Amino acid sequence: MHMPRMDSLDVLEDTLIGIDRDGNIASILSPQASDYRQTLQTAEQNGILHQMTSRQLMIPGLVDLHVHAPQWPQLGMALHLPLQDWLERYTFPLEARYHDLEFARQVYPSLVRTLLANGTTTAMYFATIHEDATELLAATCLDLGQRAYIGRVAMDDAGQCPDYYRDIDAHAAISASERSIHAIRRLNGNNAALVKPVITPRFIPSCTNELLAGLGELSAKHDCHVQTHCSESDWEHDFVLQRLGKSDTQALSDFGLLTRHTVLAHSNFISDTDMSMIRESGGGIAHCPLSNSYFANSVFPLRRALQKSLRVGLGTDIAGGHSASMLHSCQQAVAVSRLLETGVDTRIGADQRGSSGARINFLEAFHLATAGGADVLDSPTGSFEIGRQFDAVLVELDKPANPLDEFRHAANWEDLLCCVIHHAQPCNIDSVWVAGRCVSSFSTD
C-alpha cells in the first residue's frame, strides 16, 4: 500500500517488485504482466525472492522531518513545564553533555535503532553545537543504515543562549558548520550520500544577524539543506517581529535561508503572505502536531497550507513530542485538525468556535508521513515506483504480542490501513529496508 498522491490509496496485490544493486526499484510486475511468471520462477530458483504472507502488508518507509537527536534521553520528561523552563532546566544542560563523545555513544545508537524499529527509514536531525558528536550521529546513522539529514546546531546570541552552551561568536559558528558539512560528506561509506549535512540555525532568537547571514551564504556555497524552527509559538513569532520588524519567514528569506532545500519546523503562526513566500521558494514545512500541543499555543493550519500547494510532511519533534512513532504523528495530525475545525471553547457557539474545513483524514496523514515527507526533502523515496529507492516497512498483522484482530473484519483496503495506523506497535513492524537493505528485523532485534 502506498499513496504517491494525496487523493487516493494505491494497492499493489500479488505484485513483484524488483530491486537493483543500488537499492532502486527496477521493476514492478503485476500478475497480468507477460514476464511475471518467469520472473517469479527465476527469483525463486536463485533464492532472492522475499515472499509476503497473507497476514502481512508493506508500506513505504516513514519520513520524520524533525527530530532533536540529543534530546532522546529526556523523552517524555517535564512536558508540564513552560517551554523556556523546559529548555533551561532540562534541554540545554542535556545537550551540553554531548561534548563528551562517550555520552553520545551511549545515546545515539539507541535513538537510531528505535526509530528504525518504528519504521522510520528517513530522519532529519538537529544535533548539538559539538562537531565531533554531530559527526558521530552521522556515522551512527550510516552504520545502522538509516537515511538521514543531520545538522550541527548553530546558536551564538549571548542574550538568548546560556553561556555554557553556545557558539563563541558568529565566525566560530559558521566555520564549525562548514567543517561539519565536509566531515559528513567525507564519511567512510557515504559515497551514495545516504547521510546528508544540513545547515541548522536553531531558530532566529538564538542567532545573531551576522550568523544568520553567514549561514545563508554557506547554504548557497555548499548547496545544503537548511532546517530551523519557524513561527512556532506566540513568543518566538512575536520576538522576531519585535527584533527584526518582519516575520520569521521573511527574515529567513532575507538572510538567504529560505530555499528549495529548506525545512521549516512548526510554522504555526505563518500568514498567507508567508505561505506564498514559502511556496515560491520551494521550501517545505515539518508539521509536528504532538509537540505543538505542549509548546506552540496553537494548531498548524495544515489544510490551508495544503490548499495553497505548500509541501508539508510530519515530524515527531523528539523530545518536545513524547513518541518516536510516525504512526502516532499521523494519529495526532488527524486529531489536532479536528480540534482546529470544531474549536475547543464551549463558551463560544459551535458555528463560531472553530475553523471550517480544517480537518484531514488518516489517508492524508499517511501520505504526509511517506510521500509528502520525501517530497519535502526531494528524496527519491516515499512510494513504490520505478526509479525510487526501496525504503519499505513490512507490517505483521498477526503478531502474538499485538494481534491486529481488526484486520480480519476490514471491509476494504482503506479500513485495513486505518487499522494499522491506529493500532500497530513496534512488534508489528517485522522488517525495515533502506535502499534495498534490511536494516531492522523484529525477529533478530
pLDDT digits (tens, 9 = 90+) for 291-340: 999 999 899 999 999 999 999 999 999 999 999 999 999 999 999 999 99
Has residue 164 got a pLDDT over 70?
yes
pTM above 0.95, yes or no: yes
Residues 176-225: tens digit of each pLDDT: 999 999 999 999 999 999 999 999 999 999 999 999 999 999 999 999 99
Average pLDDT over residues 147-172: 98
The residues, any chain, with a CB within 8 Å of residue 285's CB and separated by 6 or more, are: 230, 263, 264, 265, 266, 267, 278, 300, 305, 310, 311, 312, 313, 376
DSSP designation for 371: I
E strand or H helix at 355? none
What's the confidence (pLDDT) of residue 408? 81
Has residue 65 got a pLDDT over 70?
yes
Question: Helix or strand or coil: residue 49?
Answer: coil
Cell numbers given for 219: 547554504
Cβ count within 10 A of residue 222: 15
The residues, any chain, with a CB within 8 Å of residue 61's CB and separated by 6 or more, are: 119, 120, 121, 122, 147, 370, 381, 382, 391, 392, 393, 432, 433, 434
Has residue 445 got a pLDDT over 50?
no
Comparing C-alpha atoms, which of 220, 358, 209 is closest to residue 289?
A: 358
DSSP designation for 88: I
Strand duo 147-151 + 311-314: pairing: unpaired
Q: Residue 117 to residues 423, 424, 425: CA-CA distances in angstroms?
A: 15, 12, 10
CA 119, 288, 362, 258: dihedral to nearest 10 degrees?
-100
Q: Tell me how many degrees the CA angle 188-123-291 measures, rounded to the nearest 5.
A: 145
Q: Residue 148 to residues 145, 241, 295: CA-CA distances in angstroms?
A: 9, 33, 26
Contacts made by residues 47-55, CB under 8 angstroms, sequence distance 24+:
52/394, 55/396, 55/397, 55/398, 55/407
Has residue 406 got a pLDDT over 80?
no
User: Cis peptide leading into 319, omega within 30 of 0?
Assistant: yes
What's the confidence (pLDDT) of residue 443? 61
Has residue 56 got a pLDDT over 70?
yes
What's the confidence (pLDDT) of residue 442? 80
Beta strands in 147-291 (DSSP E): 147-151, 153-154, 195-201, 225-230, 262-266, 284-287
